Amino acid sequence: MTQLSMSKAINQGLRRALADDPKVLLMGEDIGDLGGVFRVTEGLKAEFGGRRVIDTPLAESGIIGTAIGLAMRGYRPVCEIQFDGFIFPGFDQITTQLAKLTSRHEGTQAFPVVIRVPYGGHIGAVEHHQESPEAYFAHTAGLRVVSPSTPHDAYWMIQEAIRSDDPVMFFEPKSRYWPKGELDETASGFPLHATRVVREGTDATLIGHGAMLSVLTQAADIAAEEGTSLEVLDLRSISPIDWEPIFASVRKTGRLVVAQEAPGFVSVASEIAASVSEACFYSLEAPVLRVAGFDVPFPPAKLESVYLPDADRVLDAVDRSLAY
């Protein structure tokens, strides 16, 4: 075991993927000499050269379109979108081309493109720099959508995403780039699309992905001091979702609170709430409750603490669930 931040863990995962497969290459704005705005690709151009770690123009549509062509020629391109809000100029290429090309070729052509997206709040940034657009892509058939919450998962999941023959949207919670955690480079532990039980509990289930896991764990710690046992699940994969661990947990606890940074309307949390209500109706002791960002554009930095779900809002939902 080593102690590593998530940004360094992803860097190590990319380094290993580049070393293991000469067809892997990285593309993005300022990812070469600068190492990306979050320094996730720092040092990789010096090690693997400018033909495999490529600084692109500021043109997200061009980055994705080029990656599609490279994938058709047998390469495994990994694209970095500099900030979450910058992905929309490439949205058309992702959702109307990349997501549909395998189906269009009736499965005869693979499109192993990974799109890395730093997402979410907690960094005090300006407009278009703190959004959570993962639901747009989870809604689009043909894309795999995943989000790690720990350095260990980030290290292994980026490598599994690169090995996938399907396009993968890899959402990296930027607020978790810097805290360190354990990394075991000898064992991955969980498949790419597996839901992980982080903490056992009996009174209610909490589930989220990416940056929300630290909030849910904090809420569970506070609840434990007050005598309430909360089970915490890490979604990890947003599309496809590994449902059985979720259903098993809800059938055990009878209650579910789903948390996310994104707005709650027509969201990942909405889908989880609906699916659990259908599959676990007779086990539920209370309605499934959602804790989410408000249905407004992401606010200025001074108001982000009001907008983003925290442990207090999660525990408020737990109290309401337990009151039924």
Query: CATH says 196-322 is which class?
Result: alpha beta
**Which candidate, 283, 292, 285, 296, places its Cα nearest to that of 320?**
285
d(CA 315, CA 200): 17
Residue 122 is a catalytic residue:
no
Give the per-residue pLDDT at 220: 98
**Which candidate, 39, 36, 40, places its Cα nearest to that of 86?**
36
Give the per-residue pLDDT at 125: 85
Give the per-residue pLDDT at 216: 98
Catalytic residue among 122, 128, 129, 209: 129
DSSP-derived secondary structure for 128-192? TSS---HHHHHTSTT-EEE---SHHHHHHHHHHHHH-SS-EEEEEEGGGSSSEEEE-TT---S-T
Q: Which residue has the tokens 């309307």?
A: 265
pLDDT digits (tens, 9 = 90+) for 204-251: 999 999 999 999 999 999 999 999 999 999 999 999 999 999 999 999
Give the per-residue pLDDT at 317: 98
Question: Is residue 203 within 8 Å of residue 112, measured between CB atoms?
Answer: no
Domains 2-183 and 196-322 share a fold: yes
SS3 116: strand
Give the per-residue pLDDT at 258: 98
Give the per-residue pLDDT at 122: 85
Give the per-residue pLDDT at 298: 92
**Residue ranges, the chain, pLDDT below 50:** none
pLDDT digits (tens, 9 = 90+) for 283-294: 999 999 999 999
Q: How many CA atoms lie within 13 A of 266 on its CB side?
A: 4
SS3 33: coil
Tell me, what DSSP letter sits at residue 38?
Answer: T
User: Under CATH, domain 2-183 is a member of which superfamily?
Assistant: Thiamin diphosphate (ThDP)-binding fold, Pyr/PP domains (3.40.50.970)
**Which candidate, 110, 183, 176, places its Cα nearest to that of 147?**
176
Q: Which residue has the tokens 């600068």?
A: 34
DSSP-derived secondary structure for 252-302? HHS-EEEEEEEESTTSHHHHHHHHHHHHSGGG-SS--EEEEE-SSPPPPGG
d(CA 182, CA 58): 35
Tokens representing 219? Answer: 């809420």
Q: Indicate the domain borders of the chain.
A: 2-183, 196-322
SS3 248: helix
pTM summary value: 0.96
Give the per-residue pLDDT at 124: 86
Give the per-residue pLDDT at 142: 97
